[in-house]
Amino acid sequence: MKLRLSLNTMRKNILLLWTVMATVVCSAQQVYNVHDFGAKGNGVHIDSRAINEAISQAASEGGGTVRLPAGVYLCYSVRLKSNITLQLDSGAVMKAAMPKASETYDLPEENLSMYQDFGHSHWKNSLIWGIGLRNVAITGKGRIDGSGVLSRGKPTLDGLPVANKAIALRDCRRVKITDLEMLNCGHFALLLTGVDTLTIERLTIDSNRDGIDIDCCEHVKIRHCRVNTLNDDAIVLKTSYGLNRLKPTANVIIEHCHVTGYDVGTLIDGTKTTHATKAPDQDGPTGRIKLGTESNGDFRNIIIRDCTFTHCRGLALETVDGSQMENILVFDIKMKDINNAPFYIRAGNRNRGPKGLPASTIRNVRISNITVEEADSRYASIIAGNATGSIAGVTLSNIKLQYRGGVTMEDVRSQRGINPFFTQNPNMKGYPEPSAHGIQPASCFVISDAKDIMLKDIDISFMQPDERPKIMMTNTENITIERVSPLKDKLFEKSDHIVIDN
């Protein structure tokens, strides 16, 4: 299995890139207090004009820190500039203001790309935005609050233009975002597209759609963040065509983060309630770490380590629009109360993008040292390619995997509109999600159109009995199963070179 790099080699290669990479953000020496420019911070006065004046003044003088002392600052669009640190002190709240006919948010810029939704394709229609900047930081112990205003997707509110993102940056370099609280931030709390040399640390995000979206970015650190997103993904890496060009997401480390799908707002208020049982797609709460779905450019050299998933969906690695996903390392992960597949690895053929994109592939994935408790049994853990060998070189090892169980073969047979043998699923060209495959005919692992797969040192248990066989494989080659326990039942169809050593 030559496709597999050693665990230590993958770690060293990615960490070396960070060692040699400059992560300098502007040394902001001069401080510009927004009150000196007319900001009131009283929750009544519109303060974005004063904040923008402070930013412009600081930028004209070579850069500096634009400071918001404690208070509530009602704002429309705040326009960042290079060499600026925007600092929200403890007790400072930048709150999205209701649009007015006389004054509102910046309009979305023109973008001729047609291969992703409106939200991924525009940046100016945001509470805070910047394009083509260098040396930018947004920091402090304050809060960004979009409650009741920032849109979950629609570009207008009561017929007036509205922002649908809290922070949006495009084509920027050397960016740092740290220490903030972010509440109800619309379509995206952070949409960062084509941003290289990026550090995100110690954020608490409790939002009504996506949390952190990293799209076509290289040299990225995401550390010590708590992200609660009941209705969408918590931390997601993408490679859309929103830049009107192909660009990879590469050399990324996500570590020491906690993702959840609690009721919106209840991470920040501390109650962590779980009354909502479904996301808008009618499956369970989302709040996961994911690679994809937007996947025109490649994904390379990505580490996810020492993270926890609670009351949300599991880890998803999805390439469906022509990207090559390779060298993905995931380890030291704890999951509890997982609402669909603990692991979903999908190479599909949606092919939403310009003509001539290659077939999507996944290569060299290592997932190890994982504990999963109370996982939804309907979908098992799925590795699903789009053709034989489209997924190759995947190892899952040292995993404790507890499913809820309770599924019967009649549950599988009684599904309508979904062929349980998902290689023939009519949704294989659609949106990739475990639920699109239906209730699976095996309880633990279902693998299709893949080769060079290893399952090693995996302990399986069920909270209730489950009638299905543990493993099903279809159109697979070079499968190694070592010390997977208990493993009584298995189904192999059109599969070659299988080694089982239990």
**What's residue 420's pLDDT?**
44
**What's residue 19's pLDDT?**
53
**What's residue 18's pLDDT?**
55
Structure tokens at 406: 């309770």
As beta bridge partners, residue 316 has 290, 344
C-alpha separations of 324 from 101, 318, 320, 361 in Å: 46, 10, 10, 5
Q: pTM of the prediction?
A: 0.93
**What's residue 427's pLDDT?**
47
**What's residue 431's pLDDT?**
87
Structure tokens at 74: 């009602």
Q: Look up tokens 């070179």; give the residue.
A: 497
DSSP-derived 3-state class of residue 429? coil
The predicted-structure confidence for 239-255, as pLDDT tens digits, reads as follows 999 999 999 999 999 99
**What's residue 422's pLDDT?**
40
Q: What is the pLDDT along the chain (502 residues), one digit of tens a residue?
A: 344 556 566 666 666 555 545 444 445 479 999 999 999 999 999 999 999 999 999 999 999 999 999 999 999 999 999 999 999 999 999 999 999 988 999 999 999 899 999 899 999 999 999 999 999 999 999 999 999 899 876 777 778 888 999 999 999 999 999 999 999 999 999 999 999 999 999 999 999 999 999 999 999 999 999 999 999 999 999 999 999 999 999 999 999 999 999 999 999 999 999 999 999 988 999 999 999 999 999 999 999 999 999 999 999 999 999 999 999 999 999 999 999 999 999 999 999 999 998 999 999 999 999 999 999 999 899 999 988 779 999 999 999 999 999 999 899 888 865 544 443 343 456 789 998 888 998 999 999 999 999 999 999 999 999 988 899 998 899 999 999 887 766 556 556 556 565 5
Integer Cα distance of 301 and 54 in angstroms: 39
C-alpha separations of 444 from 273, 336, 469, 484 in Å: 29, 16, 8, 11
Strands 226-228 and 204-206, how do they pair?
A: parallel
Pick the closest to residue 350 from 376, 386, 306 (CA basis).
386
**What's residue 157's pLDDT?**
74
The predicted-structure confidence for 450-479, as pLDDT tens digits, reads as follows 999 999 999 999 999 998 889 999 889 999
List CB contacts of 473: < 8 A, sequence separation 6 or more.
446, 447, 448, 479, 490, 491, 492, 493, 495, 498
